[in-house]
Amino acid sequence: MPDRHVQTFRQFQRVVTREVGALQDDFLGRGRPFGASRLLWEMGDGPVEVSSLRERLGLDAGYASRLLRSLEDEGLVAVRPSPDDARAKVATRTPAGTDEATLLDRLSDDAAQGVLAGFSDSELAEIDAAARTLTRALTRRHLSIETVDPQSRDAQWCVDQFFAEIDALFDSGYDPAKAIVVGASELTPPHGAFLVARLHGQPVGCGGVKLPAGEPAFLKRMWVAPSARGLGVAGLMLDQLEALAVASGAPAVTLDTNSLLTAAGQLYESRGYRQVADFNGEPHADRWYRKEL
């Protein structure tokens, strides 16, 4: 690797270290430890299992317990026993906690705006592209894509998220009963495969492929979590799904999608998929694609 790339990157790291320090000062301005703010921010609005929160942030059980207690004392979160497991607890933000998280969000936005202020539109576009490139590069190492059992917990979670999202997006919702049924065995080797993408070990996306012998492969349930979009996850997922199709000897890859999923359409077209006529009558789809292998 050229040494100058390493040097460029190190200068970048030095600058960024400084900037991150300033960012943390902003969080500290809220009169509580950075760890507590981070916890409040990271937990989101809905009820979260404390154990998953702890794991996500890499916190010690005792430490997390104390941080949560301090947030509870401030009246920002409510911690209650989990309905599923009386040992476990779930944390929820109180209205005050939501307000505070919103404020933290605004502070972060302001910090970002402060950095971006004073640049022209074309410079901003350049900075935007550069930030995306580096975000992708820095993330790549922590991203893994693995073949899993489509009935595993992570796979189910992804599919549930996917269905919930398109149900909210489509005017007439998404009704699994009307959709073409895909059984678990069809997405399990050797008849197919189901992949889950994980970022820092947390599932952030999925994709399935049916591999009927001698016929075109068929992609199903490609989804990327909103938090992980723009990182190129879908592209990597597509690479792997296509590689499986090639390995199985499939002559082509086909799929159906909906024009409301704009990013998906763009991805397929940029990867050489061409629109074809409806080949399966899937009621939730309005576009069908095919790519020869």
Segment interacting with DNA, rule: CB under 7 A, options 59-67, 92-100, 203-211, 223-231: 59-67
Q: Is residue 35 a contact point for DNA (CB under 7 A)?
A: yes
Q: Is residue 73 a contact point for DNA (CB under 7 A)?
A: no
Closest distance of CB 51 from its own copies, Å: 21
> Footprint of its own copies on residues 137-166 (CB under 8 A)?
137-141
Q: What is the dihedral of CA 184, 290, 143, 137, to 10 degrees?
A: -170
Q: Which listed residue (52, 135, 266, 275) binds its own copies by CB under 8 A? A: 135
> Footprint of its own copies on residues 17-46 (CB under 8 A)?
17, 19-20, 23-24
Q: Which listed residue (61, 88, 103, 134) binds its own copies by CB under 8 A? A: 134
Side by side, the strands of the sheet bearing 77-81 are 48-49, 89-93, 77-81
CA 57 to CA 287: how far, in whole Å? 40
**Residue 36 CB contacts under 8 Å (≥ 6 apart), including other chains:** 67, 70, 71
Q: Which does 69 bind (CB under 5 to 8 A by kind): its own copies, DNA, none?
A: DNA
User: Contact 178/172 with Cβ under 8 angstroms?
Assistant: no
DSSP string, 234-267: HHHHHHHHHHHHHHTT-SEEEEEE-TT-HHHHHH
Q: Is residue 106 a contact point for DNA (CB under 7 A)?
A: no
Q: Is residue 16 a contact point for its own copies (CB under 8 A)?
A: yes
Q: Is residue 2 a contact point for DNA (CB under 7 A)?
A: no
CA 241 to mean position of chain CA atoms: 18
Q: Is residue 89 a contact point for DNA (CB under 7 A)?
A: yes
Q: In terms of DSSP bridges, do strands 252-257 and 217-224 run parallel, antiparallel, or are they unpaired?
A: parallel
Q: What is the DSSP letter of 73?
A: H
Nearer to DNA, 111 or 179 (CB): 111
H helices of 49-94, where?
50-57, 61-73
Q: Which listed residue (23, 44, 51, 167) binds DNA by CB under 7 A? A: 51
CA 35 to CA 271: how far, in whole Å? 42
Q: Which positions lie near DNA, rule CB under 7 A?
A: 32-36, 49-51, 54, 59-66, 68-69, 79, 82, 85-89
Q: Which positions lie near its own copies, rule CB under 8 A?
A: 1-2, 4-6, 8-13, 15-17, 19-20, 23-24, 108-109, 111-119, 123-135, 137-141, 230
